[in-house]
């Protein structure tokens, strides 16, 4: 049962081959059996999951089921879930039971999906390896000595290990695509504003975007159809109809123009990854696509600009964690200053503190123009690069990451090297564009991701292009050993 895709699961539920309760119990059993090793979940809410499954079974019986009714989905622990612990993988929110649900969670609830649990992640989504989690690192199911990527590492690992059919993630600088690449699954970061941010705990508000992590583009299309849409509670959500993302999956891609940014194939890219990407491009040529070289000349500025904008916004967004109203509060504070210093000092981990400090500095009087304002200008240049590219090509392709999964602990003492693992994904967030990562082969038994970047609101095209590749390849069907 655990190796069925969403379409097959939905068909099985409707045909009565198995009930949602059986499916949910099967997932719970797999989590119980394997997650001790992977640590991909922070919370598994068995009781609530089974209740939802039973409700879904009633809906199925009544013939009121949608495509996701009765299907277990894991939520990244950054989405608020009413009555369920929502930690953001931080000691700061170790005790925080959200009193409301995120829009994304509400939408899955309304679709009849079963919320099986909350997945592990980098603390407050700050990290690229899942090692900054207060709840300990997640291990990559392809090799437990390596990281699953981050920040949505728990979701990617759980989907890759077939513990759940699908999961949600959020992506601020690559946090869906990079772990998807490292775990060999398909992850989509939608256009900024496509998915509501209401109830999604903010890291960097102008970059954060929720999206699906799934086994295939087809599954991702079904999930995005549920997640996407306007929300009047999010001023940055865009009021635009949501297409049926599954309707165009089978469209012919002959004549598709693929742009390869020459800047994505230079120094730092591991040879094995480059070869896998080349092989994927050959596949696309066989499918009738045309591949042309393009230039995104400001690519080298993306990481520096990102590490000004994202920390600046995070320094302000995380000010609400002050020990006053919710979250961690230090013991016996002497006075207000002591309350702030110790509550925040104890509640936040090192990486979060590092970014709060960088961001506070970047916004300080006298530095604002040199850092924040400059970074915003760079952001515009990067967006202009993409706009020019999309005048020539339909989609842009390249590696999702410069290397496959690295070893646990390998980069924790070297933040800059860690930051560079998002070098190909960050610019997409700065430009607000949709980007997708799909499995494109292996290097030494570790998955490699191919990134496809589209123009604004071209999620349907990305899913179509990815799906066509997955019709002629099997990388996405490979299961890590021990999890078959």
Partner 1 sequence: MEWETVIGLEIHTQLATRSKIFSGAATAYGAAPNTQACAVDLGLPGVLPVLNKAVVEMAIRFGLAIEAQIAPLSVFARKNYFYPDLPKGYQISQYELPIVGLGRITIELEDGHSKVIGITRAHLEEDAGKSLHEDYHGMTGIDLNRAGTPLLEIVSEPDLRSPAEAVAYMKKIHALVRYLEISDGNMQEGSFRCDANVSVRPKGSHEFGTRTELKNINSFRFVEKAIEYEVERQIEILESGGAVVQETRLFDPDKGETRPMRSKEEAMDYRYFPDPDLLPVEITPEMIEKVRAEMPELPDAKRQRFMADHGLSEYDAGILTASRELADYFEAVARVAGDAKLAANWVMGELTGYLNRENLEIDQAKVSAERLGGLLKRILDNTISGKIAKEVFEAMWAGEGDADEIIERRGLKQITDTSALEAMVDEVIAANPKQVEQFRAGKEKVLGFFVGQIMKATQGKANPAQVNQLLREKLKGN
Question: Which positions are annotated as active-site residues?
Answer: 76, 151, 175
Report the residue from 95, 319, 471, 481 that binds partner 1 according to the rule CB under 8 A. 319
Report the residue from 11, 33, 110, 336 that binds partner 1 according to the rule CB under 8 A. 336
Q: Which is nearer to partner 1, 232 or 331 (CB)?
A: 232
Q: Which is nearer to partner 1, 33 or 100 (CB)?
A: 100
Our finding on whether 310 is near partner 1 (CB under 8 A) is no
Smallest distance from partner 1 to CB 162, Å: 29
Report the residue from 58, 233, 254, 275 that binds partner 1 according to the rule CB under 8 A. 233
Smallest distance from partner 1 to CB 85, Å: 12
CA torsion angle 98 102 106 109 (round to 10): -60
DSSP letter string over 222-239? HHHHHHBS--TT-TTS--
Smallest distance from partner 1 to CB 420, Å: 25
**Alpha carbons 375 and 382: distance in angstroms, whole number:** 10
Smallest distance from partner 1 to CB 481, Å: 38
Stretch that binds partner 1, among 1-9, 320-328, 377-385, 427-435 (CB under 8 A): 320-328
Report the residue from 32, 83, 95, 99 that binds partner 1 according to the rule CB under 8 A. 99
CB environment 67-90: b (16+ within 10 A), e (fewer): bbbbbbbbbbbbbbbeebbbbbbb
Smallest distance from partner 1 to CB 126, Å: 15
Q: Which is nearer to partner 1, 143 or 360 (CB)?
A: 360
Listed residue (131, 141, 189) closest to 162, CA to CA: 141
Q: Which two tokens stand for residue 136?
A: 């300990």
Report the residue from 325, 331, 369, 416 that binds partner 1 according to the rule CB under 8 A. 325
* Window 134 to 153, contacts with partner 1 (CB under 8 A): none
The DSSP element (H or E) to which 357 belongs, if any, is helix 350-363
Q: Which is nearer to partner 1, 81 or 464 (CB)?
A: 81
* Window 183 to 212, contacts with partner 1 (CB under 8 A): 197-202, 204-206
Our finding on whether 227 is near partner 1 (CB under 8 A) is no
The DSSP element (H or E) to which 366 belongs, if any, is none
Our finding on whether 115 is near partner 1 (CB under 8 A) is no
Q: Are 273 and 448 in contact (CB under 8 A)?
A: yes
- Determine the size of the site formed for partner 1 (CB under 8 A): 45
**Alpha carbons 320 and 331: distance in angstroms, whole number:** 19
Our finding on whether 235 is near partner 1 (CB under 8 A) is yes
Report the residue from 232, 267, 369, 444 that binds partner 1 according to the rule CB under 8 A. 232
Smallest distance from partner 1 to CB 67, Å: 27
Our finding on whether 332 is near partner 1 (CB under 8 A) is no
Our finding on whether 230 is near partner 1 (CB under 8 A) is no
Question: Beta-carbon neighbour count of residue 149 at 10 Å?
Answer: 36
Report the residue from 39, 75, 86, 425 that binds partner 1 according to the rule CB under 8 A. 86
Which positions ≥6 away from 63 have C-beta within 8 Å?
Answer: none
Report the residue from 316, 384, 473, 479 that binds partner 1 according to the rule CB under 8 A. 316
What is the pairing mode between strands 290-294 and 257-261?
parallel
Whether the bond into 151 is cis, omega within 30 of 0: yes
Listed residue (167, 124, 158) closest to 138, CA to CA: 158
Our finding on whether 88 is near partner 1 (CB under 8 A) is yes
Give the helix ranges, DSSP H, for 138-262. 153-160, 177-183, 217-227
Helix (H, G, I), strand (E, B) or coil at 447: strand
Our finding on whether 98 is near partner 1 (CB under 8 A) is yes
For 324, phi then psi, to 5°, come to -90, -50
Which positions ≥6 away from 76 have C-beta within 8 Å?
Answer: 118, 119, 121, 152, 154, 155, 167, 168, 169, 170
| Residues engaged in binding partner 1 (CB under 8 A) | 79-80, 86, 88, 93, 96, 98-100, 102, 197-202, 204-206, 232-236, 312-313, 315-316, 318-322, 324-327, 336, 340, 360, 363-365, 368, 372
């Amino acid at each position: 049962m655990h190796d069925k895709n969403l379409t097959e699961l939905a068909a099985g539920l409707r045909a009565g081959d198995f009930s949602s309760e059986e499916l949910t119990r099967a997932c719970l059993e797999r989590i119980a059996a394997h997650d001790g090793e992977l640590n991909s979940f922070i919370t598994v809410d068995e009781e609530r999951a089974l209740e939802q499954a039973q409700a879904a079974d009633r809906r199925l019986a009544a013939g009121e089921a949608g495509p996701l009714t009765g299907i277990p989905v894991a939520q990244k622990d950054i989405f608020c879930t009413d009555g369920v612990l929502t930690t953001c993988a931080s000691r700061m929110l170790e005790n925080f039971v959200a009193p409301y649900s995120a829009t994304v969670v509400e939408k899955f609830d309304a679709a009849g999906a079963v919320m099986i649990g909350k997945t592990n992640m980098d603390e407050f989504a700050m990290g690229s390896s899942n090692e900054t989690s207060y709840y300990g690192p997640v291990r990559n199911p392809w090799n437990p000595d390596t990281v699953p990527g981050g920040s949505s590492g728990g979701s990617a690992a759980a989907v890759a290990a077939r513990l759940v059919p699908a999961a949600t993630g959020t992506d601020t600088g690559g946090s869906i695509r990079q772990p998807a690449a490292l775990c060999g699954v398909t992850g989509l970061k939608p256009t900024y504003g496509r998915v509501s941010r209401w109830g999604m705990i903010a890291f960097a508000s102008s970059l954060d975007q929720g999206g699906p992590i799934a086994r295939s583009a087809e599954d991702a299309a079904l999930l995005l159809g549920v997640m996407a849409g306007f929300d009047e509670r999010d001023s940055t959500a865009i009021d635009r109809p949501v297409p049926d993302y599954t309707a165009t999956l089978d469209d012919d891609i002959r004549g598709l123009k693929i742009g390869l940014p020459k800047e994505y194939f230079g120094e730092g890219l591991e040879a094995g990854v480059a070869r896998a990407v080349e092989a994927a491009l050959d596949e696309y040529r066989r499918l009738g696509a045309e591949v042309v070289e393009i230039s995104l000349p400001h690519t080298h500025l993306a990481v520096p600009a990102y590490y000004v904008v994202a920390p600046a916004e995070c320094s302000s967004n995380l000010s609400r964690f002050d020990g006053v109203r919710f979250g961690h509060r230090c013991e016996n504070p002497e006075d207000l200053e002591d309350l702030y210093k110790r509550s925040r000092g104890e509640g936040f981990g090192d990486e979060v503190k590092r970014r709060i400090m960088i961001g506070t500095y970047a916004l300080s009087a006298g530095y604002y123009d040199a850092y924040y304002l400059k970074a915003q200008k760079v952001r515009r240049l990067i967006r202009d690069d993409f706009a020019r590219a999309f005048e020539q090509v339909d989609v842009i392709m390249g590696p999702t990451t410069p290397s496959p999964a690295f070893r646990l602990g390998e980069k924790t003492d070297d933040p800059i090297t860690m930051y560079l693992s998002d070098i190909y994904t960050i610019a997409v967030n700065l430009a607000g564009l949709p980007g997708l990562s799909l499995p494109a082969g292996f290097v030494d038994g570790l998955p490699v991701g191919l990134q496809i970047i589209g123009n604004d609101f071209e999620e349907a095209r990305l899913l179509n292009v990815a799906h066509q590749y997955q019709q002629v390849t099997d990388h996405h069907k490979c299961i890590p050993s021990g999890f078959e």
